[in-house]
Amino acid sequence: MGAIGQEVVEELRRALLDDPSFVEVLRTALSLGSLAAQRPVEPTGPVAKSLAARALSVHPSTLDRAVRAGCPVEHFNGRRRFDLPAVRAWFKSRASKTVTRSEPDNDPIDIEHEVRRLGLRRKRAS
C-alpha cells in the first residue's frame, strides 16, 4: 500500500475509534463472536448421520453399530435421522452399565489331553 493509502487508513481508523458508538458496536460484535466460538449451535430435530456423528464427537460408523445395538433412530424418506437428545440418553444408559467379570479359571490345563481331544500332532524334535 502506498503512502497515501496508508494515510487514508490511519485517518479512518482514528475517526472510527474516536466514535464511541462504533467502539461499542465493535466490542459487542467481538464478544458475540467469541461466544459463538465457545458454544457451537446444537442442531434441533432429527438430523442426518454425519451431522449427528459430528455433534456427538463419534465416527459415523459408531452410529451404525449403535443402531444395530438398539440406538433410537427415525426413518424419513428412506433415510435414517437421529434425535440427538434420545441418542445421547441411549449412549449414557449404555455407559452406566457395569461389566461383571467372572473369576479367572486357575485350573491347570492338561496339554496332552487337549492335544488328543483336538486331534493334533506334536512336531517331532529334530
Q: Integer distance in angstroms from the first to the last C-alpha of the chain?
A: 86
Q: Hey, what's the cell of 13?
A: 481508523
pLDDT digits (tens, 9 = 90+) for 13-48: 777 667 777 767 767 776 666 555 555 667 778 999
Average pLDDT, the chain: 78
Rounded CA-CA distance 38/56 in Å is 16
Percent over 70 (pLDDT), the chain = 71
Predicted confidence at residue 33, as pLDDT, reads 60
Report pTM: 0.47
Four-residue CA torsion sign, 27, 28, 34, 35: positive
pLDDT band of residue 105 (cuts 50, 70, 90) is: low
Percent over 90 (pLDDT), the chain = 27
Predicted confidence at residue 36, as pLDDT, reads 54
